[in-house]
C-alpha cells in the first residue's frame, strides 16, 4: 500500500498509508488528542476527521481550543437543531444555519413563531439525537441530483441556494434521517456534542432582505458549561432557596478552590518578580460613610446595606477601602514604598454571581515607581495565567467611563502610566473606550487598575526625600480576578479534566471484589503518606462499572487491585486519556507520578531576581 507523508505543525513528519483518516492519525499521536479532535486541516483546508487522506500534506488536528474547531463544533450543533425542529414541526423548512461568534443559529420557515416552551421541547429532542450518537456522513453529488433531493422535500430555500453554486458537484451531510446542504466539515458523530443551550428566538428576513419572507431564527451555543460540569463532578451548587448567585462548594470543589487559592497566596509571598506582597485581612462590613468617601455610594455601585445599632453599614463590594485604612494607619516615608497588600477578600455585589472572592491587591507607590510596579503586575499575571494553561489572551486598555470621579488631569496621568507600562513590555492592546472603573483606567487581562483618586479622597500621603508630604499612587490589581469566575473558566477549559496538581482526587483505587478492600486501603495509606489525594471505591458493583464511574469523574489515575496485585504488592494502572498502563509496584507508581503533582515549573520554579 502506498505511503504518504504528513507534516505536523511542529515540523515533524509522519508516514501513514494512503487512505488513512485524520482520526486514525490523531489516535496514533495519542488517545487524548483523538478524544479532543473535532476536525482536521489538510493543506490549509478543513476536513472531516473521517475523510481519507490520499496525498502528502501539511496536517493539523483542530480541537475546541482552535477557533476553526469551535466553528465545526457549533455548526454540527446547528444541524442537530434543524433535525430536532423538523421532527417536532414537520412543516418547518430549514434555510441556513451557520456558526457565529460563541455559538450558532438556524433560520426556519414555520407557520407560527416559536415559543419559549417550544425551545424546551427542541432542546429535549436535540439531546435524544445527541444520545443516539448518529454519524455525520458526507456525500458528494451532481448539483441536479442535490436539487432534486430538496425539491422532493419541498424546500425551495435549499433549491435556491443550490442553483447559486457554480461547482457542478456539491456536498450534503446526513445524520440519522436528516439531510442538509453543507460544505462541512462536521464532527464524526452527534454524540461528540457534549453541552448545548438554546438561547433565544427572533425574527429574521430570508437573505437579510426585508422584501423577503420573515423567518424564525433560533440562537444557541454549544460549549462546555461550568455549571453543568460542576453538578456532574459534584464540585459546587447554587441553591436558589438559600439565595441566588451564592456558591456552595462541595468537598471536591472546596478542595479545588483551596488548591488554587493556596498556590496563588504562596506565589504572592515570593520575593523577586516585583512581588513580596504582605498579607492583610479586612472586615466584610464598613460604615456607609466609608463608601461615600470612596465614591462607591455616589456611583450607584450594586451594593448591599444593613443597619446595626442605628448605624448604616455597607457589605463590601470591593476590598480597596480596607487596604486604604491600613496604609493610613502609620506615617509613611518614601523609603517604605512600594507597599503591596494582598488579600483573598470575599465581596458581595448585586450581580449574577453575588458573592465571590478576589485575589485582590493594592500597591502604594511613588509616581516614579509606578511604571515599574505596573510592569511587575503584568509579568505576574502572565506567569500565573501560564501556570494554568492560559497562554493566549487579549489585552485591553479601558479608559474613563461616563460615570467617574476625579479630574481630567488625574485620569490623563493614570492612563499615560498604563500606556507606558504596556509599551515597556512590548504588548499589543486594544482600547476599550469607557471601560475603566469609576475611579481609574485599567488594563484588562484582567489584571489591574491605576488610581490617583482614592488616595486623594482618603487623604493618603507619604513623606518624600525632600521632607514634604506627597500623594502616593495606588494600583488596584487582581491576577485571576474573582476566584469563582476563574474556576468557572478553568472548569470549562479543562472540561473537568484538571491537571494532576490541582485535581481534587488524583487517584481512585478500584478493588475488584470485597476481599480486596483491605489491600486497597493499605495502598491508599501509602499514597496519602506521599501527599497524594486518594479515594477508594468501596461500592458494590462490577469492575467495569467502577471504571466507567471513575472515568466520568475525570480522575487522572485509576489503580485496580485484585488477586494478582495483592499477591505481588502491586497496582494495575489506568491513566486518563491513555487507558491501561499495566501493573507495577506501588512504590514505583508513586515515584512516577510525583513530578505531575507540581505546578508548571516554567513559570514558578525559579523566580526572576529584582533588577
Q: Which domains does the chain have, with CATH numbers?
A: 3-62 (3.10.20.30), 67-223 (3.30.980.10), 242-489 (3.30.930.10), 500-597 (3.40.50.800)
Peptide bond into 541 cis (omega under 30): no
Average pLDDT on 298-319 reads 89
pLDDT for 608 beyond 50: no
Supply the pLDDT for residue 297: 80
pLDDT band at 451, cuts 50/70/90?
Answer: low
Parallel, antiparallel or unpaired: strands 473-482 and 469-470: unpaired
Q: Report the alpha-carbon distance of residue 528 to residue 352 in Å, rounded.
A: 39
Distance CA 555, CA 401 (A): 45
Active site residues: 320, 349, 358, 360, 362, 442, 476
Q: Does the pLDDT value for residue 377 go beyond 90?
A: no
pLDDT in tens, 95-129: 999 988 778 999 999 998 998 888 889 999 999 99
Q: DSSP alpha helices (H): ranges in 173-250?
A: 226-232
| Residue 607 pLDDT greater than 50, yes or no | no
Place of cell 462499572: 545
Contact 267, 388 (CB under 8 A): no
Does the pLDDT of residue 336 top 60, yes or no? yes
Angle formed by the axes of helices 67-88 and 116-131, to 10°?
110
**Cα angle 163-40-27, degrees, rounded to a multiple of 5:** 140
Model pLDDT, residue 449: 57
Q: Which three cell numbers stand for residue 472?
A: 502616593
Task: Phi first, then psi: give them for residue 609, nearest 5 degrees.
Answer: -80, 155
The predicted model gives 320-324 an average pLDDT of 93
344: number of Cβ within 10 Å: 17
pLDDT at res. 11: 84
pTM of the model: 0.68
Q: What crossing angle do the helices spanning 251-268 and 483-494 adopt, rounded to 10°? A: 110
Share of the chain above pLDDT 70, in %: 94
Q: Is 326 exposed, middle or buried (0-12, 13-18, 19+ CB in 10 A)?
A: middle
Section 457-466 average pLDDT: 92
Contacts of 284 (CB under 8 A, 6+ apart): 315, 316, 346, 348
* H/E segment holding residue 367: none
Helix H, strand E, coil C: the string for 568-586 is HCEEEEEECCCEEEEEEEH
Q: Is the pLDDT of residue 20 over 70?
A: yes
Does residue 22 contact residue 53 with C-beta atoms inside 8 Å? yes
pLDDT at position 392, please? 62
Q: What is the reported pLDDT for 447?
A: 40
CA gap 293, 283 in Å, rounded: 17
More confident residue, 583 or 26: 583
pLDDT given for residue 379 in this prediction: 84
Q: CA–CA separation, 377 vs 361, rounded Å?
A: 10
Bridge-based pairing of strands 442-444 and 462-463 is unpaired
Q: What is the pLDDT of residue 393?
A: 65
pLDDT, position 611: 30
Kindly tell me if the per-residue pLDDT of 1 is higher than 70: no
- Residue 608 carries which DSSP code? P
Report the C-alpha gap between 293 and 298 in whole angstroms: 9
> CA-CA distance, 297 to 220, in Å (whole number)?
38
- Containing 532, the helix (H) or strand (E) segment is none
Rounded Cα distance between 19 and 1, Å, is 9
Closest CA to 420 of 452, 385, 378: 378
pLDDT, mean over the chain: 87
Give CA separation, 381 vs 377, 487, 493, in Å: 6, 16, 18
pLDDT at 606 over 70: no
**pLDDT tens-digit map of 164-205:** 888 899 999 999 999 999 988 999 999 989 778 888 888 888
Cβ contact 359:384 at 8 Å: no
Amino acid at each position: 500500500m502506498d505511503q504518504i507523508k504528513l507534516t505536523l505543525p511542529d515540523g515533524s513528519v509522519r508516514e501513514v498509508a494512503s487512505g488513512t483518516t485524520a482520526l486514525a492519525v490523531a489516535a496514533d499521536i495519542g488517545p487524548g488528542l483523538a478524544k479532543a479532535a473535532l476536525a482536521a486541516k489538510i493543506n490549509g483546508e478543513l476536513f472531516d476527521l473521517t475523510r481519507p487522506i490520499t496525498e502528502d500534506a501539511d496536517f493539523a488536528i483542530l480541537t475546541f481550543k482552535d477557533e476553526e474547531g469551535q466553528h465545526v463544533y457549533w455548526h454540527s450543533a446547528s444541524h442537530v437543531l434543524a433535525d430536532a425542529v423538523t421532527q417536532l414541526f414537520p412543516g418547518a423548512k430549514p434555510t441556513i444555519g451557520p456558526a457565529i461568534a460563541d455559538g450558532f443559529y438556524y433560520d426556519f420557515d414555520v407557520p407560527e413563531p416559536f415559543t419559549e416552551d417550544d425551545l424546551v421541547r427542541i432542546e429535549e429532542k436535540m439531546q435524544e439525537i445527541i444520545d443516539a450518537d448518529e454519524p455525520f456522513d458526507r456525500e458528494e453529488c451532481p448539483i441536479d441530483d442535490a436539487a432534486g433531493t430538496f425539491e422532493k422535500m419541498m424546500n425551495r430555500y435549499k433549491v435556491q441556494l443550490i442553483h447559486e453554486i457554480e461547482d457542478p458537484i456539491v456536498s450534503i451531510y446526513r445524520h440519522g434521517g436528516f439531510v442538509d446542504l453543507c460544505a462541512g466539515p462536521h464532527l464524526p458523530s452527534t454524540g461528540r456534542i457534549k453541552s448545548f443551550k438554546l438561547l433565544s428566538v427572533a425574527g429574521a428576513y430570508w437573505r437579510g432582505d426585508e422584501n423577503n419572507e420573515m423567518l424564525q431564527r433560533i440562537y444557541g451555543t454549544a460549549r462546555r458549561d461550568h455549571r453543568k460540569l460542576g453538578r456532574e463532578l459534584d464540585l459546587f451548587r447554587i441553591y436558589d432557596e438559600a439565595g441566588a448567585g451564592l456558591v456552595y462548594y462541595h468537598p471536591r470543589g472546596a478542595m479545588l478552590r483551596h488548591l488554587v487559592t493556596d498556590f496563588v497566596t504562596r506565589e504572592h509571598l515570593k520575593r523577586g518578580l516585583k512581588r513580596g506582597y504582605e498579607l492583610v485581612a479586612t472586615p466584610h462590613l464598613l460604615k456607609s460613610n466609608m463608601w461615600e468617601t470612596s465614591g462607591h455610594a455616589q456611583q450607584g455601585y450594586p451594593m448591599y446595606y444593613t443597619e446595626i445599632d442605628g448605624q448604616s453599614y455597607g457589605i463590601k463590594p470591593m476590598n480597596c477601602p480596607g487596604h486604604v485604612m491600613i496604609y493610613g494607619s502609620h506615617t509613611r516615608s518614601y523609603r517604605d514604598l512600594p507597599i503591596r497588600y494582598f488579600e483573598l477578600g470575599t465581596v458581595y455585589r448585586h450581580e449574577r454571581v453575588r458573592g465571590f472572592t478576589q485575589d485582590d491587591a493594592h500597591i502604594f507607590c511613588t509616581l516614579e515607581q509606578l511604571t515599574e510596579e505596573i510592569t511587575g503586575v503584568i509579568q505576574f499575571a502572565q506567569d500565573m495565567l501560564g501556570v494554568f494553561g492560559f497562554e493566549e489572551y487579549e489585552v485591553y486598555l479601558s479608559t474613563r467611563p461616563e460615570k467617574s470621579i476625579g479630574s481630567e488631569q488625574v485620569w490623563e496621568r493614570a492612563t499615560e502610566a498604563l500606556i507606558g507600562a504596556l509599551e515597556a513590555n512590548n504588548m499589543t492592546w486594544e482600547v476599550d473606550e469607557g471601560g475603566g472603573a469609576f475611579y481609574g483606567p485599567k488594563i484588562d487581562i484582567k489584571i489591574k487598575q491605576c488610581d490617583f483618586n482614592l488616595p486623594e479622597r482618603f487623604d493618603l500621603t507619604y513623606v518624600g526625600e525632600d521632607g514634604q508630604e506627597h500623594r502616593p499612587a495606588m494600583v488596584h490589581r487582581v491576577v485571576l480576578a474573582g476566584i469563582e469566575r476563574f474556576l468557572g473558566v478553568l472548569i470549562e477549559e479543562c472540561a473537568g479534566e484538571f491537571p494532576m496538581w490541582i485535581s481534587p482526587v488524583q487517584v481512585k483505587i478500584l478493588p475488584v471484589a470485597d476481599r480486596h478492600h483491605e489491600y486497597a486501603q493499605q495502598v491508599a495509606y501509602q499514597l496519602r503518606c506521599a501527599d497524594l489525594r486518594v479515594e477508594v471505591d468501596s461500592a458494590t458493583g462490577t469492575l467495569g462499572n467502577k471504571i466507567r464511574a471513575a472515568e466520568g469523574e475525570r480522575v487522572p489515575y485509576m489503580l485496580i487491585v485484585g488477586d494478582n496485585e495483592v499477591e505481588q504488592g502491586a497496582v494495575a494502572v489506568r491513566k486518563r486519556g491513555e487507558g491501561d498502563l499495566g501493573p507495577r509496584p506501588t512504590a514505583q507508581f508513586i515515584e512516577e507520578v510525583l513530578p505531575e503533582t507540581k505546578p508548571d515549573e516554567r513559570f514558578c520554579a525559579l523566580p526572576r531576581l529584582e533588577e
